[in-house]
Amino acid sequence: MRYLILFSVLCFNYLDSMAQSFQLAEPLMFSDRVFFYENCSVELVFEMDGSEVRYTLDGSEPTLESKRYTHPIKLKKTTRVKARCFHPDFLPSEIAELHVFKSQQIATCNLITWNDPDPAYEAPMEALVDRKKGDMNLKSGAWLGFRQEDFVSEWGFRQPPRAKYLLVGSMVNTASWIFPPQRIELTCIDERWKPFQLGVLAPDELENALPVYQIPLIPSNCTKMRLTIEHYGMLPEDHPGAGSRAWLFIDEIGLGW
């Protein structure tokens, strides 16, 4: 009897392992504005009957207990929205994320000096402060591409901006030779003091994406600053284009709250 039970359990478990369990794809996430002054609206899309999308706004992982998405989400502060799909017949999806940023308006009139992008990807400087996030389309007019040098620019403000973060919108698409910056640094170059560092970040993610780097800034009364976005340099040795220089792509620079 004992062996019969054991055999049955093994059989059932074997049959169970034969059952197929496919995973759901992630929900699509859209926002009317990634950079906003007052508010923005985030829409989640997953066109599958019987499924539901659940989301969180506090950075935690969405579970079946999280809030269920029914209509666009209105947001008033910088938020990382995480969403996930569920369906009784399939494994839950990976978590999709969308980060939206409350940011203050800066303009090209705040821009004192800069170096021009490569002519192949030469969006106007206005694109850097238009609060519009570019997509994976390199030629959409949102992107400034740099190949030979870092992006170095100086910014001046009448009043100290008092922002909590520097925001830098970028792209990583390794198949298209676009790599993250080595380092982003904001330095105070106000004549009243010796230059000092306001904030710095060294991104390390190589995953294909449209990251917005959020660099914490120290509080200061600085009104003139230098932003340096360091180019990745040569493509890595295991890259098909090894021996050539990578590309640096930027679509937005902002000051966030």
Residues lying near another protein in the complex (CB under 8 A) are found at 1, 5, 8-9, 12-13, 15-16, 19-25, 28, 45-49, 51, 85, 89-90, 135-137, 173, 175-176, 208
Q: Whose Cβ is closer to another protein: residue 155's or residue 249's?
A: 249
Q: How far is the CB of 124 from another protein (least distance, A)?
A: 24
227: Cβ contacts below 8 Å, ≥ 6 apart:
151, 152, 153, 154, 155, 166, 184, 185, 186, 253
Residue 154 · residue 226 · CB < 8 Å: yes
Q: Measured from the CB atom, is 21 or 148 closer to another protein? A: 21
| Nearest CA-CA partner of 80 in 53, 52, 100, 61 | 100
* Tokens describing residue 101: 């940023």
Q: CA 250 to CA 231: how far, in whole Å?
A: 11
Q: Which is nearer to another protein, 126 or 135 (CB)?
A: 135
Q: Which is nearer to another protein, 174 or 223 (CB)?
A: 174
- Residue the block writes with tokens 């989400």: 73
Nearer Cβ to another protein, position 47 or 65? 47
Q: Nearest approach, Cβ of 175 to another protein (angstroms)?
A: 6
- Residue 2 C-beta: closest distance to another protein, Å: 8
Two tokens at 32? 């009317």
Q: Which of 95, 97, 84, 102 is nearest to 34 (CA)?
A: 102
User: Least distance (Å) from another protein to the CB of residue 200?
Assistant: 29
Nearest approach in angstroms of CB 73 to another protein is: 18
